[in-house]
Amino acid sequence: MSSTSQKHKDFVAEPMGEKLVMALAGIGEVLGKRLEEKGFDKAYVVLGQFLVLKKDEELFRDWLKDTCGANVKQQGDCYGCLREWCDSFL
């Protein structure tokens, strides 16, 4: 699950700074490439989308699926890691 993944822990542990989009939990190389193609090259851009969707899980999952074709687990990982990051740093 998202809470156990090392990527999730690493991302949530510190401010994201200029991290790439692939640093997000659930976003691997393939999805990262797709997101970069659409202009979401940095993790904070995805965070911006996450925030502009008002942290709504359903909408964010929807958006992620449409943008890069993430599956349910990847959606959940990405959402969970962003939400947790927001909880601690926002």
Using CB under 8 A, list all residues that contact another protein: 49, 52-54, 56, 58-59, 62-63, 66
Q: What are phi and psi of 24, to 5 degrees?
A: -70, 140
At 80 the three-state DSSP class reads helix
Helix then strand then coil, % of the chain, to nearest 5 = 65, 0, 30
Name the residue nearer to another protein (CB basis): 53 or 86.
Answer: 53
CA 72, distance to chain mean position in Å, is: 13
Q: How far is the CB of 40 from another protein (least distance, A)?
A: 9
User: What is the C-alpha radius of gyration for the chain, rounded to an integer number of angstroms?
Assistant: 11
Name the residue nearer to another protein (CB basis): 11 or 63.
Answer: 63
Name the residue nearer to another protein (CB basis): 8 or 60.
Answer: 60
Q: How far is the CB of 58 from another protein (least distance, A)?
A: 8
Q: How far is the CB of 73 from another protein (least distance, A)?
A: 20
